[in-house]
Structure formats: C-alpha cells, structure tokens
Chains A and B, each alone.
Chain A
Amino acid sequence: MSGILVIAEQKDGKIKKVAFEILSEMQGIAKDTGFELNACLIGNNVSGLADQLAQYGAQKVFVVDNPSLAQYNTELYTAAAAGAADAAKPQVLLGGATVAGKDLMPRLAARLKTGLLSDCVLVKLNSDKKFVFQRPIYSGKVIADSVCASDIAAATIRPNVFSLKQPDASKKAEVVKVNVDVASIKPRVRVKEIIKAKSEKPDLTEASVIVSGGRGMKARENFKIIEELADVLGSAVGASRAAVDSGYADPSQQVGQTGKTVNPSLYIALGISGAIQHLAGMRTSKVIVAINKDPEAPIFKVADYGIVGDLFQIVPELTKEFKKLLAE
C-alpha cells in the first residue's frame, strides 16, 4: 500500500486539466498522511507527458503504453488501469468525473471490488485519518459525506472544483512502465465512428464559462445570439429543461436535475426562470448572472448579478461589450 493514485486522463496527447487539479489538491493530504502521491497515464506514446504530472506533485507515474490504447475504450482502459493499480497498490484511487472517467471508474471499482464515490467536490481526512469524500446528491439539493469500507477507497472528482497549484517546472517524474497485455483483449464494444459536434465548444461539465438559454429564448434559431456570446467567451452553451422540451436546444445541453450538473466560474442564465431542478444543477457556479424580463423570476434569488430586461436587446450588446473588453 503506497498512497494515492490519480488516474490522469489524456486525450490526443493532452492531459485533462482535472488531473492537475486533483494532484494540486492532494499535495496537502499526501503530506498530512505521509502517503505517496502517484499518477497513472494510459494511452499510446504517453510517457512524455509524465513530467507534466510531476510538476503538479506526482512522484511516480505509472504508464501503460500500447498502440491499442490510442483511443479510449472501456474494456481496454479498465484492464490497463487495473494493471496500474496492481503495480501501484494505492489506498486511494482518484479520477476525473469526465465523460470517460464516469465510464471507466465504476467498471474499475467493480473489478477491484472497491467502493466508489462519484462527482466529489471535497476530499478530507476525518479524526481517524480516514478519507471522507463529499459529494452533492439530488443534483445538489443535499450534500453527503461518505467513506469507503473497502481496502481501496475510490472517487471521481468534479472538474473545476480544486484550484491549480503553480507547477514546479524543475520536477521530473519517476516513470514506472506497467505491462498489460491489452492486445489479447477482444473488446465487445468498439468505437466505429466519431460524429463531431457542429461547433467546437467545451463540454458543459468541464467548461469554466457557460451561457444558458431558457424558455425566454422563444425559438431554436434565437439560440444564435447565445452562440455568438459563447464564441466570444469561449464558453459552452447550456439550456434549461423548458428550452430542451420546447425543441430550442439539444438534450445534451440540458443543465439541471434531469440534465447535467455544472460547476463553472461564470454561469450566464438567459430567459431562464430558475425552476428548482435547474437551480440544483448550477447552484455551485462561482458567479451567476441572470437576465430575464420577469423581475419575480426565482433565478434572481441565486444570481450574483441580475438585469431585468429584454434579452434580445441585452445579449447582442453584451457580446459587443465582452468583445471590446477581451480585445484590450
């Protein structure tokens, strides 16, 4: 048993920011417990990325490198991660609550017979120096503290929750190569094709800025003004359930209890009244801006800044102002 293992997700040779966030946050806990802080990289030709993890505090980086791991595949990556866990023998296993992390970690937990807590926003030690994982449930209506009863405690960490520490450029990783015979596994689910999104926007669950539209957008084509604002801010585009059910936006854009729970630095709600289900999904945003013509809309009760007015007039102006500001 030698401490904390962070499964550092990479895609196309780029490590996800959440891996650096988890490492940054765990530096303190590793010091308090005397645990080693290690990371794991899975992919094809990914050893070169290990130093980046060291710069955020990883001591050893367990690398499973194989041409058949070039793209994410549940069964192959589970085998690879289980191999890395076997080599690293962690007491605590952490990954990002990303699209791939949410697919991989439960399967890995079942294989390792460990408990797993999803989408955690806080990791702390209790008086017995046991790891306690805090996570929102009922999409944020309730906060639950959980512990694991298994030998290994595992959790996925929500992106944008832990702040990044300054990377230490002088640090080099101690790379431990792990051989896992993934080539002999015949996956029963294979990615045949990837259909790219119409626009290259960040994912809602990882975005640091989100602009969302609600019923007040009135029509699908009106989301164009949101898209323009989002392009200027480099943000993701979300929607309320009312907007999705009215056909203004796609189900994958829905924020709230029957959609995605998001945690950006800035959430701009346009024409969203603020139903309990929607508020549950975005209430942990650092700053909330609401623009709505109804001064009684519940969204104003949670918004840091509000404008009561016509969004069709305000949003294009806002886009213009942000453009001006960001060009400075």
Chain B
Amino acid sequence: MEIIVCIKQVPDTETKIKLKPDGSDIESEGIKWIISPYDEYAIEEGIKIKEKLGGTVTIVSLGPKRAIEAIRTGLAMGADKAIHLSDPAYLTADTFAVANALAAAIKTIPHDIILCGRQAIDDDSAQVPSMLAELLSVGQANFVIKLEVSQDKKAIAYRTVEGGAQEVLDIDLPAVIAVTKGINEPRYASLPGIMKAKQKKVDEPAPSALNLDANAVGEKGAKSKVVKYALPPERKAGKIIQSDFPQNVQDLVKLLREEAKII
C-alpha cells in the first residue's frame, strides 16, 4: 500500500497570536511550531495501515524551511520518506495553490491512499483535502473517525455527520481521507526513531520539477488572498449572580428571558 500523508506546520494551540502593526500579516516571531494536531492523526493512521498491510508512508508538506522539523517528527514516528515543497515560489499560496502543488507532487509517486487532517488549525479552511481529491480525480471522505483499509484497494470509512450520526462509506482507492480526532492516539517518536529519521530521504523539488508553471504556484497561483488581518473585539465580562441557591438559578433564568431576551 502506497500511503501519502499531507501535513502542515502551524503555531501551537497555546500561542497568543499577534499581528504585524499594519495588519498585513501574523507576527511569526516567538511562535512555537507544531504539526497541525489533525495531521498527527493522519500520520499515525498512515503508519498503522503500513504496519497492517505493508508498503511505504510518504509525508508531503508545503511550507518554509522551518517545516522540516514537522516533517522529521513524522519520519521519527515511522514514516519512510518525505517531499518538502519548500521553494519560496510555493509560499504565500491559498488553499487552491497549495492543493494544486500537493497534487502535482503526489502525481509523481505511486499513491493508493492520501491521508490528511480534517483542517489545519491556523487558517481553519478545511478545503485542501477535497480540492486535492478533485485535482487528483479521486474520491474523498472528510471528518473520518474510523478507517479500515484492505489489500484489494478498498476502504470502509466512518465519518461523523450532523448531530453525532455517522456515515459508513464504501471507498474505491485511491482516495483522499481527511481524519478527525478520535480515530487514533498518535504515538510519540522513540529515540531510535528520531535517530533513524535523520537518515531518511527528504526531496525538495522545485515547481519546474513537478511540471508546475511559475504562474500556478504561490501568490501567483492563489485564487484568493487575505487583504487584512485584525484581532477580534475583546468580550467584556458580564455579571456574576451573587444571590444564594436556588434564588441564583431563578435570577439567571429571569435575566436570560428579560434582559438577554434569549429564551
């Protein structure tokens, strides 16, 4: 089974995000970078499939030089090799240009299943998996919480839909599977794993090596762009209801009805 895992390096969830003074971008100084948590589930799932069915796990990531840390972590967990789209021409892309570059990279290698996290926790777009599926002309499954892959290139995926219901999907591979929390518990990289990861191959193809036109990547290939970043207005603290129980509960219900007019 040829397994591809797409990952993105993002700021840690604990990070307090600051903006550049002119609102043109996020201040990247002082940020601790991690693998987007949903992508960790994708790496773990890829390694589990390999352990069961054999094959190789290839990590594909688009991001600046620093993203190599995230890639090495994935390799230390047990992935075999990686493609790092690190050329500056790829950067400042939107979801479409990212999906387009990832698709071009994936097309150069055998691929039976492409695993992604359900969304990156920085821009929260949740678009790349579906766009990737379209650009690779394969099927897709989003919000997958359980996956069973078989040697005959079929898969059964359980995906969460409205109100806690689940759809059971019958999938012909290759397909893009975007996983969500609950599918597995990602392993920690072992010390031997970390040592071995340093020797694993990481390709860094330029756009031309993937037959990508200079106008199709990065900012030029983007179909959308952010024109302004701002911080949301701070929420003001409201009132603490001081009366004793059970009067406090009655007061709360009264406030919700009469003041907030919400019930």
Contacts and interface: CB of A to CB of B under 8 A. Distances in A.
B260 A203 contact: no
Given A136-B232, A307-B248, A118 B143 contact: no
A307 B240 contact: yes
A140 interface: yes
B131 A277 contact: no
Given A102-B142, A110-B99, A142-B229, A289 B263 contact: no
Nearest to B166: A195
Q: Is the interface of A mostly helix, strand, loop or mixed?
A: mixed
A198 B164 CA distance: 8
Contacts of B226: 144-146
A283 interface: yes
Contacts of B19: 142
A308 interface: yes
Q: Find the residue from B160, B182, B224 having the highest chain A CB count within 10 A.
A: B224
A189 B228 contact: no
A202 B124 CA distance: 22
B62 to A, nearest CB: 16
Contact of A277 (B13, B163, B235, B255): B13
Nearest to A207: B163
B94 interface: yes
B145 interface: yes
Nearest to B118: A102
B95 interface: yes
Interface residues of B, number: 83
A110 B167 contact: no
Contact of A190 (B26, B96, B169): B169
A258 B130 contact: no
Contact of B245 (A138, A203, A301, A309): A309
B130 A107 contact: yes
A24 interface: no
Interface string A116-133: 111100000000000010
Nearest to B220: A149
B240 A191 contact: no
Given A102-B142, A203-B162, A318 B253 contact: yes
B262 A287 contact: yes
B124 A136 contact: yes
Nearest to B37: A258
Given A147-B225, A321-B250, 12 more contacts: A113-B96, A113-B223, A114-B223, A116-B125, A188-B172, A189-B141, A191-B168, A252-B145, A258-B37, A266-B263, A304-B238, A305-B239
